[in-house]
Structure 1
Amino acid sequence: MVSHIVVGVDGSAPATAALEWAAADAQRRGLDLRIVHVCEQLPHSDGIESCTGVLEAAADRARWLTSEVKVATKPLRGNVIGNLIAQSESADSMVLGSRGLGGFAGMMAGSVGLAVAGHAAGPVVIVRDPAVERYDTVVVGYDGSDHSEAAMAYAVEQARARKALLHVLFAWQVPMFSPYAVTYNSLIETAMQEEMRAARQRVEPWRTRNPDVDISDEQRCAHPVTALIEAARSADLVVVGSRGMGGLASAVLGSVSQGVLNHVTCPVAIVRPSVKETP
C-alpha cells in the first residue's frame, strides 16, 4: 500500500513552498513524507555534503510544521528528472516547486516540473508560492476522459481531507457562429446544450458515491484554460488530467494541463491514470 508523499527540494523558494504544501498534505491525509534532493555531478560542487545540508534543513522545517508526520530523507545522484520519475513509482504523489535554482523567473512552470508531470507514475503537484489565503475550495477540470476521471478521484480525496468544497468545472469552446448559416448555428447550439447536459449528468455518480463531500458543478462555454484560470483565483488547489478529450495519444501533457501550469498561481495537480486504467 502506498503510504508516502515525495517532495523534491533544492533550497529554492518554490521548493520550500512545495515542502510546506507536501508536509501539510501528508498530515491531512495520514501519509508519511519523503524528502529527496538530487545531487547532480557539477564542476566545483561541494558534493554530497551540500546535498545533505539541503535535506537536513528541509527535514527540520517539515518536522517543525508537522510533528505527527513521519519524515524521511533520501539523497540521490544523477539526472534530476529521471530520479524524480523513479521516486514517483512508489509514492502516493510527487510535489515540486514551480521552478528550481536554475529556473527562469518569467516561467511559471520549469522544465523539470513539466517533464516529471508528463511521465510520473502518479499525481504531480506543482507549487509556486506559500499559501497566503485559504478558500476551502478544490477545483477540478472534468470532461469525462480517462485522464479527467483520474483527476476527479484525486480531487475528491483532496476535498475530503480538507473538508472543502469540490467545484467540478466543464468548459467547452464551440466553433464561431456564422451570421449567414442559420441551420449550422442551430446545430451548434443544440450540440452545446447536449454537451452541457451530459457534463452535469457525469457529476451525479460522484455525488452518490461520495455523500460526505460537498460537490458543486459548473458548465461554461469558454476555453478550458481560461475557465480554469478564472476558477483558480478562489481555489486552494486546481486538479487536471494530463490530457483531455482533445489530447493526442503521443502528447505527454495536453494543451490544457500545460496552459494551467503556466498561468495558474495556486498549486496545480496533474494526474494521469494508472497503467491499469490506461486504455
Structure 2
Amino acid sequence: MSGLVVVGVDGSESSLAAVETAAREARARGASLRVVHAFIWPALPVPLGPSPVGPSEGGLRRLAENLLTKAVERARATAPDVRVDRALVTGEALTVLRTESRTAELVVVGSRGMGGFVGLLVGSTAVHLAAHGLCPVLVVREQPATVDGGPVVVGVDGSPVGARAVDFAFAEAELRKAPLVALHAWTTWNAPLPAPRDPSLPYANPPGELAAEEERLLHESIAGRQERYPGVVVEHKVVHGGTREALIEASRSAQLLVVGSRGRGGFTGLLLGSVSQAVLHHAHCPVAVVRGAGAA
C-alpha cells in the first residue's frame, strides 16, 4: 500500500461526510488514510482534562480525542481494508492541513465546519485550503447530491493549471470507473481571438471561426490522455455561455467536479479564481480543486 489521503475533521456532519469520501478515495488509490483534528489550546485558563466537579469523560482534550475516535470508526466502517491513522495536532486548522498536504496526494475536507457563519455554504477553511494546499483538495458537503453512476466533470480552459486539473480528472474517472465530461465554456468576452485571415482586416474572421477555435482548444487540452487512460469514456462538451453557470449546471448530474485553482482570466495574483470559488459555494456535488505546478 502506498500513498496517503488526509482528511480534516472537527465533529461536524460535513466533516464526517468527508471522512467517508476520504476512506473511499484511499481504498480506490490503494493508499492509507490519516484522520487529522487541529486542536487549539484555549487562551483562557480552562482545564484541558476533566473538571473536578464534572463528569470523568469531560475536558477539552478528551472531547477532541472522542471526536477523532468517532471519525476513525466512520472511516473503518466505510472501508475496512484501508489502514487508518489518527492525529491530534496543536494548531489552527488551515495551517495544520496545509502542512499535512505536503506529504499527501489528496486532502479531503467538509464544506462547512463547526465555526463561522451558519449561512455560508462553504467555510473559510475549505476555501483557503483550496487556495493554499500543496496537493489537490476535495471539498465535500454533508449531504452531497451525488448521482450514482454519474460522470466526473472537469472544467477545461487551456491554462497550465487547467492541464493539471485534466490529469487529475482522468485519474479520478479511472479510479471511479466513471465516464468523464470535459467541459469548456466560452463567450466572446473571454475567448482569445484567432489570427485574422486577411491582414488588411485585422478584426475580421469568417462566421463560426471563434466557435471552431474553442472546439479546437478543448480537443488540444485533453490530447494524449486518452492513450494513458484507455478505459475512460470521454465526452467533449463546448458551451457558449458563462463558465461558472455551465459547471454548476453540469454538477447536478455529476459525482465529482474538478477545476483548476486559477484559469486563464482574471487577476494573475489571485491564488483562487472566481470560477473555483463559485463552484465551491454552489456546485451540487463534491468539488476537487487542483493547483498549478508551483504548489507541488
TM-score by length of 1: 0.90
| Contact 1:135 1:234 (C-alpha < 8 Å) held by counterparts | no
| Contact 1:142 1:148 (C-alpha < 8 Å) held by counterparts | yes
Give a deviation string over 1:117-155, Cα, whole Å, max 9, x none: 101100001101244641331000011211111111111
- Return the offset for 1:49: 1.8
Which one-letter code corresponds to 2:70 in the other structure?
A: A
1:231 match: 250
Aligned residues: 271
2:65 match: 52
Counterparts of 1:108-119 in structure 2, within 5 Å, are: 108-119=121-132
Q: Distance in 1 between matches of 2:10 and 2:260?
A: 27
| Contact 1:99 1:108 (C-alpha < 8 Å) held by counterparts | yes
Greater mean alpha carbon deviation, residues 130-139 or residues 91-100 = 130-139
Which one-letter code corresponds to 2:175 in the other structure?
A: A
| Contact 2:166 2:222 (C-alpha < 8 Å) held by counterparts | no
Structure 2 residue runs without a partner (length 5+):
49-58, 191-201
1:106 corresponds to 2:119: yes
Aligned-residue CA RMSD in angstroms? 2.2
Give a deviation string over 1:220-255, Cα, whole Å, max 9, x none: 111111010111000000000000111433101001
2:168 match: 154
Counterparts of 1:235-246 in structure 2, within 5 Å, are: 235-246=254-265
- Return the offset for 1:69: 0.2
Which one-letter code corresponds to 1:92 in the other structure?
A: E
Provide runs of 4+ in structure 1 moved above 4 Å. 183-189
Counterparts of 1:31-180 in structure 2, within 5 Å, are: 31-42=31-42, 43=44, 44=46, 46-131=59-144, 133-175=147-189
1:13 match: 13
- Return the offset for 1:90: 0.4
Which one-letter code corresponds to 2:240 in the other structure?
A: C
Structure 1 residue runs without a partner (length 5+):
177-182
| Contact 2:76 2:84 (C-alpha < 8 Å) held by counterparts | yes
Distance 1:119 1:60, change over 3 A: same
| Contact 2:2 2:32 (C-alpha < 8 Å) held by counterparts | no
Which one-letter code corresponds to 2:252 in the other structure?
A: R
Counterparts of 1:236-275 in structure 2, within 5 Å, are: 236-275=255-294
Pick the structure with greater CA Rg: 2
Indicate which of 219, 232, 236 corresponds to 1:217: 236
- Return the offset for 1:48: 2.2
Give a deviation string over 1:83-138, Cα, whole Å, max 9, x none: 11001100011100001011333212111111111011000011012446413310
Distance 1:252 1:188, change over 3 A: farther
Instruction: Say which structure is richer in helix.
Output: 1
1:179 match: none
Q: Distance in 1 between matches of 2:277 and 2:206?
A: 31
TM-score by length of 2: 0.85
Greater mean alpha carbon deviation, residues 251-260 or residues 123-132 = 123-132
